[in-house]
Amino acid sequence: MRFSEQVLRSVRWLAAGLMLFSVNASAARLMDLVDVTGVRSNQLVGYGLVVGLLGTGDRTSNTRFTSQSMKNMLRQLGVQLPQGVDPNLKNVAAVSVTATLSPFASPGQAIDITVSSIGDAKSLKGGTLLMSQLKGVDGVVYAIAQGSLMTTGVSAEGRDGSSITVNVPTVARIPSGAIIERAVPSTFASREHIFLNLREPSFTTAGNIVETINNTFGPDVARAENGVQVRINAPADASQRVAYMSVLERMDVDEGDTLAKVIINSRTGTVVMNEFVRVKTAAVSHGNLVVSIREDFNVSQPGAFSKGKTTVTPDSEISVDQGEKRLFMMSGSNSLQDVVNAINKVGATPGDLMAVLQALKEAGALKAELIVM
């Protein structure tokens, strides 16, 4: 379906009119809910050498590839080292160079890069990255990187072997350190339709997006393919398509409810619940079993002239404390605040709270998806 001239002319006044409407408390901007197919970032990676370090670079005995890279670079610059001679690499470090190529990035633009040591260099502070190629997953060079490194890490070491390190001195950044040489081909302007992919799958949200767009531009403009993807008819002209996307991004769409989830991070003891978590009536008993063992030693001293020996005898005292926790009735809760209040009555620490929540889930009293990280 192609857009009529009337629909295309309506894009401008719709863009202005959308700014006049008050935002619904339950609504979210469309641009915060979806990603557009064909509009994505691309990762770049490369290998390079950092020079000018103050004796904190790679050691030749451990990082042969650094020595080999330096020889190859000098050979390309017309410098031929004698056979069997290795350059002193204490001021040189082999590094990986990474960057992110933003959507629609064009040749000549500058992007930030991150430089990370891959050898045994102690610090990259004060170094300079020599010209390095940044390639995409297809092996094509998309950018060239070079420049002075910026690092916040500090490392110091004394003669007695004591040392101190603040932050990470082997990772640095170069703002605008790479120049884009090639643009990544994009199918955004050439496709007949625009596809919106929901960041959080929801049939309700997909249906609301279709309804909002069709109410604005007319029937059959948008169609939900499934609970994740929405297909939209779009103008063929690139300029009109950009103006059309500008209107779409600022549309307010009612976001569907998400699944009830409880996230547990077992490493940090963090427990996070969303507002849709509910708890059915259940009885909970939680108490800590503490076993204490106290070891004392008694000295057995023989009497005078008994020809006995002084002996040390152990005296152990074992006690068990099961705490004073009693059976607690957790009533059914219909709000997140009720759930929090009920759990607080148990008096559990964050670590114990994980066990309580898992037990409630197994008992069928916790109406939420339990995710353990």
- What mean pLDDT value characterizes the chain? 79
| Nearest in space to 1 (alpha carbons), one of 239, 189, 220, 207 | 220
Beta bridge partner(s), residue 116: 96, 171
**Annotated domain spans of the chain:** 5-39+189-254, 42-180, 259-303+310-373
| Region 5-39+189-254: CATH code | 3.90.1150
Helix (H, G, I), strand (E, B) or coil at 206: helix
pLDDT tens-digit series, residues 237-296:
888 888 988 899 889 998 888 888 888 887 777 888 888 888 777 777 666 545 455 656
Q: Does the pTM of the predicted model rise above 0.95?
A: no
Alpha-carbon distance of 210 to 218, in angstroms, equals 11
Alpha-carbon distance of 297 to 316, in angstroms, equals 8
pLDDT tens-digit series, residues 166-219:
678 899 999 999 999 999 888 888 888 899 999 988 899 999 999 999 998 888
| Nearest in space to 48 (alpha carbons), one of 112, 121, 119, 133 | 133
Alpha-carbon distance of 182 to 190, in angstroms, equals 19
